[in-house]
Structure 1
């Protein structure tokens, strides 16, 4: 197996981009989801689940911060804000503080998204813990949904597309990996083999596979148009439905941070369980 793609998302729920290499930090890839859009009133995370057009807004890292683009507006350079200007924010069950990016960034994004929002930066990524049911006490995560990295398999995507064509016909549009927003994509494994992995090595980085990824409505939003449809949920519901959810991908936690991984790196499974159990998921 080898590492086929590395994808990074500087701002949670905005458009991401592919890179050739990235440093693995304890809370995720360097530069991944360290920024977040929040509601201007409550400080709760605003995501593409409810504001689909977020997927059409770009965010590229710069030496001093990020560059926002798209939404028929002039691009905006945003510097990393002063850590002294903290806001209380919420992402899922996590309550923490983050640095306010400032009024110019807030106004740009509010216009782009059609609602009053603010932009924040996680200046100290040690503030947010992962779910203790599936990880360790000292594990940390940035503004990703729950865990530092998400892995997906090219073979598993091919299996989804095969099932999709079987149901919808050979002319059905191909479903792309972009919909699933992984950080790392591996190729050379059997479809769904990642369900069974518990520890793996990507290049020089060792990572724990702690939980399968239950997929939400966000995967049904076309990342090119921002329009919502029924796929891939309709297909996943036929072939990957467990415990009332549909599953694609595996959440990872780094055990050897500050290692740089590169496209083409060897991927080796260091520990696995017997096949057939399905993805790691909450017990009831």
Structure 2
């Protein structure tokens, strides 16, 4: 088995970036989901679930953590990382409410015009990151703006199995993994507890529960009329009402990952 793809998503729910290599630390891949859009009035997070046009928003992560925003018909905008303790804004992501720095009025106006709603852009420094959901991981495990866990792994064999059942091609990026592993049977990752990629070790914590976002074409932003692949997933990947595809992970320590590294199941 080997690591066949790496993806990061600098701005939560915007387009992802394919990487050949990436450093990895407490919050997952370097730059992954460190930025997020929230409603101006209540600080609640925005995603493609309600705003599928976010699939057409590109957010490139710079060497110093800055963000470059790009969207069809709009000039690019570079946004500097705000200071960790200035212009703090209360935000809510699922059950977590906390305070993080706001990126300023220029970015907010640019994004509000694109989304069609008053929004603010926020950034999470490591020291203001969240704990994992209760009952998972260890006391020092943290996550940035991902839904609940710092890393998501999907086996290429699992996607191949789903594609065969749906009967048409499906892009891996519609499932928004960070790590893709090839060389294993479909859904082999369901049985893993600990793995090694290169020299780094990872704990496999829980399956990923999938939602309507999987039905959005990452290239066009359009939802599939037949609600695929969610419709097919429900026929064979549903457990206690949740549709499961992929596994959430945390890394033990820090290091560098590179496409092509060997993957070993330790437990």
Range into which the TM-score falls when normalised by the shorter chain: over 0.9
Distance in 1 between residues matched to 2:152 and 2:118, nearest whole Å: 30
CA-CA distance at 1:132 after TM superposition: 2.2
Matched residue SS, 1:63:
coil
> In the alignment, does 2:122 pair up with 1:127?
no
Unpaired runs of 5+ in structure 2? none
Gapped regions of structure 1 (runs ≥ 5): 166-172, 272-284
1:234-253 mapped onto 2 (5 Å cutoff)? 234-253=231-250
- Please name the residue that 1:262 is paired with: 258
TM-score by length of 2: 0.96
- Given the alignment, which residue of 211, 219, 224 partners 1:216? 211
Contact 1:126 1:140 in 2 (8 A): no
1:274: which partner in 2? none
Displacement over 4 Å in runs of 4+: none
- Contact 1:35 1:120 (C-alpha < 8 Å) held by counterparts: yes
Offset of residue 126 of structure 1: 4.9
1:32-71 deviations in whole A, cap 9, x for unaligned? 0000000010011111111000011000012340100013
Q: Which residue in 2 is equivalent to 1:28?
A: 28
- In the alignment of these two chains, the number of paired residues is 263
Q: Which residue of 2 aligns with 1:203?
A: 198
Alignment of 1:80-159 (within 5 A): 80-83=81-84, 84-159=86-161
Q: CA RMSD in A?
A: 1.0
Counterpart of 1:227? 222
In the TM superposition, 1:7-86 aligns within 5 A as 7-64=7-64, 65-83=66-84, 84-86=86-88
Structure 1 residues 11 and 210, CA gap change in structure 2 (3 angstroms): same
TM-score by length of 1: 0.90
What is the CA-CA distance between 1:125 and the residue it aligns to? Answer: 4.6
Distance 1:126 1:189, change over 3 A: farther
